[in-house]
Amino acid sequence: MNYIFVIFLLITACFHFIQCTHLKGTFKSNDFFKFLVKFGFQKTDIHQKESTHGYIFGNITSRQNFPVQITFAVLDRLYFLEYYQNRLIYDKKEACKRMFNTLKVAAFDPKCSPNGNDYLRKIPCPKGQLCVDEDTAWNVIGGHQFTYVIQDLVQPSFWYVSMVACYRDEETCEWHHYEPNEHYEIDYDMWLVNGNPNNSAYNVLTYQFSFDRQNTLELHLLLWLCYIILVPLQCYAVRVQKHPVTKLFTASLAIDFVAICFILVHSLKFSLDGVGFPNLNMVGDILDILSRTLFMLLLLLLAKGWAVTRLELTWKPLVFAIWLCYGIVHILLYVWNLTEVDVIEDIDEYQTWPGWLIIVFRTLIMLWFIYELRITMLYEHNTQKLNFLLHFAASSLVWFIYLPILALIALHVSALWRLKLLLGITYSADCFAYCVMAHLLWPTRSEQYFLLAGGSNAELEELDQFNEAPHIVNHSYTSSLSSVNSLEICRFDDQSKSKANT
């Protein structure tokens, strides 16, 4: 498990963005731009507006006196993309002009754009007071300096929160870069929620979650309930039948159960404080990947007939090399998705080149699995073992093929629903595969086709195989025919003698 710990440290070191809804931190003016979070707000129910609105509220202050207030922006995707792309311009004066080229008209300002929308705030806000742009004090959540109320009656939508060292000249209404002689720091503490924080009737299962992650807590709870039944049953099975296949399957199942427990603990705490345990969640994700790779190893071993038709495993280096490569590529995809994929882009992990690589890799392993299973079945003549291999092949192919199909379907699904689709089908398919495998490997059933460890049992199984072999069957058939012919000859001789006596 040491290499898992090393991988976790590597991910933690590279991970520069954590999806939280309760944000705390510091923005330095010399950084010019800081992206804070992308958050999905639910569709507003026209009959329950107050309880279904989205809210962004909090405090933004500084321990220093800013000569000029800079800008805090809350934008929908329509305005955010132009604003975000222009941040990379080397000349920051020009960058500010281009970033706010559209917003200087679209964003509200009492003098420069009185008909604009409420997108911007001047920060830092005065200590102990509301932000200067908050002209309706009753609308601000108690104990905080600013509040945004998000309403969309048509559909859910993503909103993007950021800070930038630009300010608007009140006289000319033009945007400029803030270039102080010394660096200033701004401290922020804010919340993003789906529901009215003043209304105690909000749904705790969705309140803290971005729309694209809503209902994932219920999914984790349902999976945990399934595993809390399946895992004890499998622990009983491995105690009754101490067999290498059963042990390997139990290890894979137990690791996946621990992963679900870690992710569930994070989700439960996240639903309460908007932060959760991000590091614990990452450990859970890594353990989930490890459990899937172990399960794939088990499928490959059984496809080669290990412990079913033969005790010795052929091509060991190749099998374990493929398994190890798949695990490494899967973890690299996870790291890539966290560190290299821009959260602004509405893509999932399977829409990147590492994602397509692992889909192709998995498909090739599936084809090799089919080839090895076909070879194993050609050399097997035991009816019970063939029946096991047929059921095993059907369930395993479903597990192999679902991910490539799911990745293709996800291409045509909106990012607001895509994550829930991927998680729901992936977790459900894995759970179903574990249930089917537990059924196939149950001791009272598997003892009929396993080459069990131990002298007497192994000898008996080998003897059964020997008796089932084609040349033994033919010899038995020939012997039977010879016995029948001898019996007929004897009967004929007896009849002839009785006639002669008569």
DSSP string, 94-107: HHHHHHTTTHHHHB
Rounded distance, CA 42 to CA 157, Å? 7
pLDDT at 176 over 50: yes
Pick the CATH number of 215-447 from 1.10.287, 1.20.1070, 1.10.8, 1.20.140: 1.20.1070
| Sign of the CA dihedral with 322 first, then 328, 330, and 336 last | negative
Q: How many other β-carbons are positioned within 10 Å of the β-carbon of residue 447?
A: 14
Q: Which pLDDT value is given to residue 380?
A: 81
In angstroms, rounded to a whole number, what is the distance separating the alpha carbons of residues 124 and 59? 9
Question: Could you tell me which residues come within 8 angstroms of residue 449 by beta carbon, excluding any fewer than 6 positions away?
Answer: 308, 382, 384, 385, 388
Q: What's the pLDDT at 6?
A: 46
pLDDT at 490: 40
Contact 255, 290 (CB under 8 A): yes
Nearest to 42 by CA among 257, 167, 214: 214
Is residue 205 within 8 A of residue 220, CB to CB? The reply is: no
3-state secondary structure of 134: coil
C-beta separation of 227 from 256 below 8 A:
yes
- C-alpha closest to that of 332 among 30, 78, 11: 11
d(CA 69, CA 156): 32
pLDDT tier at 348 (50, 70, 90 boundaries)? Answer: confident
Length of the chain counted residue by residue: 502
* 469 vs 345 pLDDT, higher one: 345
Mean pLDDT check: name the lowest of 135-144, 240-249, 314-323. 314-323
| 341 close to 349: Cβ distance less than 8 angstroms | yes
pTM above 0.75, yes or no: yes
More confident residue, 367 or 341: 367
**pLDDT for residue 35:** 94
Contact 288, 259 (CB under 8 A): yes
pLDDT at 76 over 90: yes
Are the C-beta atoms of residues 301 and 319 closer than 8 Å to each other?
yes
**Quick one: pLDDT at residue 455?**
38
CA–CA distance, 381 with 385 (Å, rounded to integer): 8
Question: In terms of C-beta density within 10 A (0-12 exposed, 13-18 middle, 19 or more buried), how is residue 206 classed?
Answer: buried
Report percent pLDDT > 90 for the chain: 53
- For residue 242, name the pLDDT band (cuts at 50, 70, 90): confident
CA–CA separation, 50 vs 306, rounded Å?
62
Contact 362, 299 (CB under 8 A): no
For the stretch 20-73, pLDDT in tens is 789 999 998 888 999 999 999 999 888 777 778 899 999 999 988 888 899 999
Pick from 271-275, 347-351, 422-426: least confident: 347-351
- Range picked from 2-6, 42-46, 177-181, 214-218 for highest mean pLDDT: 214-218
Q: Are 256 and 430 in contact (CB under 8 A)?
A: yes
Q: 42-51, 202-211, 418-427: which has the highest mean pLDDT? A: 418-427
Examine the pLDDT at 194 and tell me if it is beyond 60.
yes
DSSP element (H, E) containing 37: strand 33-41
pLDDT tens by residue, 212-235: 999 999 999 999 999 999 999 999
Instruction: State residue 110 phi and psi, 5-degree precision.
Output: -60, -25
Q: Over range 309-320, report the average pLDDT.
A: 79
Residue 122 near residue 131, CB atoms below 8 Å: yes
Residue identified by tokens 């008569």 is 502
- Residues spanned by CATH 1.20.1070 within the chain? 215-447
DSSP 310: B
- The pLDDT, as a whole number, for residue 51 is 77
Confidence (pLDDT) at 452: 56
30 touches 167 (CB < 8 A)? no
Please tell me the predicted confidence (pLDDT) of residue 179: 81
In angstroms, what CA-CA distances link 89 with 93, 375, 496?
9, 61, 116
Residue 439, pLDDT above cutoff 60: yes
Kindly tell me if the per-residue pLDDT of 271 is higher than 60: yes
